[in-house]
Amino acid sequence: MIQNFHFGLQSRRSSAYGNRLSADRRAVRVRRYLLALLLCFSLQDALAAETQPLFHFELPAQNLQDALEQYSVITGREVLYDSSIVEGKRSAALTGTWRPEEALPILLQGSGVQAKYVGKDAFTLAQAYPDGPVAPLQSGGREAAMPAFKKHFYRRFQSSLTRLLCQDDILKKNAFRAALQFWFNRDGSFESVRLLDTSGSESFDKHILFQARQIHLNAAPPDSVRQPLTIVIDPRIPLICKNSG
C-alpha cells in the first residue's frame, strides 16, 4: 500500500501592469499548470465503465485501512492516501461483482472520505466535504488543523516544484496533465520519482521525469510526513511565474 499526502498549489491570475513597471519585474503569464488537490476527473468520467473488468468482492464492514488494502489486492488498483485521512474510520460492506471504479465509492460510503482518479490504475483519497468537491488547502479544511512545521514543508515542496516548472521552456509551452510521486532523503535531497500515468508521449514523459529529479528541498522532511508525496499537474488553470530579476 502506498500512502501519501496529496496537496494543492494556490494559483492566481496576475493583475494588469502599467507601462511604468520595469520589464524585469513583470509577471510572466504561463497558461499551464496547477498543482492541485482538487483532481480533474470523476471516477465515472475517467474510465468508460463498459471497458473495465469485473471483480467479485466479499468484504465486511471493517477498519477502513484494512478494507482498502483488500480492495487493492483484489483489483490491482493503487489507492493513494495520507494515513491520517482513514485513521479511526470504518468501511461499508462490499459484496457482489463490481468494476473497480464502482466498488470503491461503495466501500467508502459513510466514511467521510471520497476517491478521485489520478491514473489508469490509481486513485487518491481525500476528505469529503458536504458542499461539493475537495476543498483546496488554502481555503481551510485540513490545512487549518495541520501543524505549522508540516505546512512549511509542503509549501517548500510546492515552491520548489513551481520553480522547476517555470524555468523549463518545454514544460511551460506544452499543456499536459500528470500525476507524480516523490520520495526524499532525510536531508531533503531527491531520492526517487514515479510517473503515475503517461502524458501520451514517451519522450515528453522522460523529460518530465528528468526535470522532476532536479528538485531539492534543502530541508529534512518531518518524521510525520508520509512518503511518497503525490502531486497532480493540471493544465487548465494558469500559474504565474515571476521573473527572477
Helix (H) or strand (E) holding 68: helix 64-75
- φ, ψ dihedrals at 157, nearest 5°: -60, -45
CA distance 102 to 71: 12
Q: What is the pLDDT of residue 210?
A: 93
What is the three-class DSSP state of 173?
Answer: helix
CA distance 157 to 215: 9
Sequence-ordered strand ranges (E) for 101-176: 113-119, 122-127
Distance in Å from the first CA to the final CA of the chain:
44
**Could you give the C-alpha distances from 185 to 72, 109, 181, 216, in angstroms and in order?**
27, 37, 14, 10
Nearest to 113 by CA among 72, 82, 140, 69: 82
Q: What is the pLDDT of residues 112-131, one digit of tens each?
A: 888 876 666 677 787 775 43
* Per-residue pLDDT at 234 exceeds 80: no
Least confident of 98-107, 144-153, 154-163: 144-153
Q: What is the pLDDT of residues 52-111, one digit of tens each?
A: 689 999 999 999 989 998 998 898 887 777 777 888 899 999 999 988 888 898 899 889
Peptide bond into 53 cis (omega under 30): no
Mean pLDDT across the chain, nearest whole number? 69
* Per-residue pLDDT at 144 exceeds 70: no
Q: What is the pLDDT of residues 214-233, one digit of tens each?
A: 988 878 888 877 787 877 67
Q: Which pTM value belongs to this model? A: 0.47
- The set of long-range contacts for 43-46, using a CB threshold of 8 Å and a minimum separation of 24, is 43/101, 43/104, 43/105, 43/115, 43/116, 43/117, 43/123, 44/101, 46/101, 46/117
Domains in the chain, please, with CATH? 25-37+136-242 (3.30.1150), 43-127 (3.55.50.30)
Give, as one character, the DSSP assignment of residue 241: E
CA distance 29 to 182: 27
Q: What is the pLDDT of residue 216?
A: 84
Residues written for the chain = 245
Residues facing 28 on adjacent strands: 241
